[in-house]
Amino acid sequence: MTKKKLKKEVKDLRNLEDNWDAYSAYPITKVSIEGANYIIDLVPRESLSANPCVVPLNDGSINLEFAKDSKELELETDGEQIIYLKCEKVKDKDELCEEGYLQFDDKEFLKKFYKFFEWLGVKRYPCPKCNIGETYDANAGGMFCSDIRCDNPECNYSYSDL
Ligand SMILES: [Zn+2]
C-alpha cells in the first residue's frame, strides 16, 4: 500500500451518492475528504504495512483503519476532528478499547497524533533536516546499499552509500 493509493481510495468516495448504503447514508463530505487526506499525509510510512483501510461512514465522515498484531487503530474524521478508537485483544479477556477525540487545532496535535502510532507499534523516522518529512530508503529491497531520502517534496535531504 502507498499513500497515493490510499488517497485514490479516499477520492473515489466522492462518487457515493445519497443513500449509498441503502440505509439513508449521507454522501461523503468534502471536508471529510480533506481531513482524511491530511491524516494520510501525516501517518508514518511504516503504518502503510499495517493493513490500512479506508471506510466511508453513513454520516458522511471517513474512517481510516490500521491493524498490527493484536491491535487495531481507527481514526474517524469529519474534517474538524478525529474520533479515535484503539482496541487491543488481550488473551482470555474481552477486547480492551479506548475511544476519544482529537481536534485538528489542538496545540499538541502532532504529538498526540503520533502517540496513536507509538501505541500501535509503528515507528516514525523524522527527517533530521526539515523535521516535517520522514526519511525512507529509496533503494529498499536493493541489497547492500541504501539511498535515504526525505518524503517532504520541499526538502532535499539525502544520504546515500550507493
Ligand atoms: Zn526533510
What percent of the chain is modeled with pLDDT above 90? 80
Statement to judge: residues 74 and 134 lie in one domain: no
What are the backbone angles phi and psi of residue 32, rounded to the nearest 5°? -65, -40
CA pair distance 11, 80, nearest whole angstrom: 18
In a shared domain, residues 73 and 8: yes
The tally of domains found in the chain comes to 2
CA of 35 to the centre of ligand 1 (A): 23
Same domain, 85 and 139: no
Report the separation in Å between the CA atom of 52 and the middle of ligand 1, taken as the mean of its atom positions: 24
**DSSP assignment of 28-94:** PPHHHHHHHHHHHHHS-GGGGGS--EEEE-TTS-EEEEEEETTEEEEEEESSSEEEEEEEE--TTSP
Distance 157 CA to ligand 1 centre (A): 5
Q: Mean pLDDT across the stretch 89-114?
A: 93
Residue 32 has pLDDT above 90, yes or no: yes
Are residues 149 and 134 part of one domain?
yes
Which pLDDT does position 162 carry in this prediction?
62
Grouping H, G, I as helix, E, B as strand and the rest as coil, residue 95 is: coil
Domain shared by 118 and 142, yes or no? no
CA–centroid distance, residue 158 to ligand 1 (Å): 8
| 38 and 59, same domain (yes or no) | yes
Sheet with strand 158-160: strands edge to edge: 135-137, 147-150, 158-160
How remote is the CA of residue 67 from the centroid of ligand 1, in Å? 27
10 and 68 both lie in a single domain:
yes
44 CA distance to ligand 1 centroid (A)? 14
Of 73, 89, 87, 81, the closest CA to residue 122 belongs to 73
Spacing, Cα 2 to ligand 1 middle (Å) = 19
Cell of 61: 465522515
134 and 57 in one domain? no
Instruction: Give yes or no: residues 20 and 68 share one domain.
Output: yes
Q: What is the pLDDT of residues 117-156, one digit of tens each?
A: 999 999 999 999 997 889 988 887 777 788 899 988 899 9
Averaged pLDDT score across all residues of the chain? 93
Residues 57-90: tens digit of each pLDDT: 999 999 999 999 999 999 999 999 999 999 999 8
If you average pLDDT over residues 102-120, what whole number do you get?
Answer: 95
Residue 156 Cα to ligand 1 midpoint, Å, equals 6
Task: Based on the fold, state whether residues 100 and 37 are members of the same structural domain.
Answer: yes
Could you list the residue range(s) of the whole structural domain that residue 52 is in?
3-124
